Amino acid sequence: MKEIKFRAWIPDAEMGADDMFYQEDQFLSSFLKRIYQAYVVSHPAYLKFELEERLMQIIGSKDKNNKDIYENDIFEDGSFCIFIGNRYVKMWLSKDENGRNHWEDITEDDVVVGNTFENPELLTKETK
């Protein structure tokens, strides 16, 4: 059975920190309820944020170091994990001569070094 986990990036301006909230749950509704109870109730200003843009699901693969890969994870080559069509791939910010982003399949040799919310400086525009 496929493992189902989610995480969400919770920006908390009042506390001067950006937090990554991890939760293992097979139901998205339970996960969202826990986020709401943990953060929104104590920080009403959080209601301004779009949670859907900050919600990430585990993709069911692990990297070279046996670390779970989530949507929006950044790999050591500067690409990031995204869902395209019917699968997860790694994509770079750079575009080809036709204005399309370059993407490749994720392999077991890829290494996660961060994520697009906490470590945007790790994204590169060049393909490796």
pLDDT of residue 1: 53
In a 3-state reduction of DSSP, which class is residue 43? coil
Please check whether residue 60 lies inside any domain of the structure: yes
pLDDT of residue 113: 96
Measure the CA–CA gap between 54 and 11, rounded to whole angstroms: 9
How do strand 101-105 and strand 112-115 relate by DSSP bridges?
A: unpaired
In the structure encoding, which two tokens stand for residue 18, read together? 């950006």
Please check whether residue 114 lies inside any domain of the structure: yes
pLDDT of residue 27: 60
Please check whether residue 57 lies inside any domain of the structure: yes
DSSP 54-82: GEEEEEEEE-TTS-EEETTEEETTS-EEE
Please check whether residue 127 lies inside any domain of the structure: no
pLDDT of residue 120: 87
Q: Indicate the number of domains in the chain.
A: 1
Which helix (DSSP H) or strand (DSSP E) does residue 29 occupy? helix 28-35
In terms of residue numbers, what domain contains 88?
Answer: 5-122
Average pLDDT, 10 consecutive residues per value, the chain (128 residues): 68 53 59 60 50 73 95 94 90 84 92 90 75
In a 3-state reduction of DSSP, which class is residue 98? coil
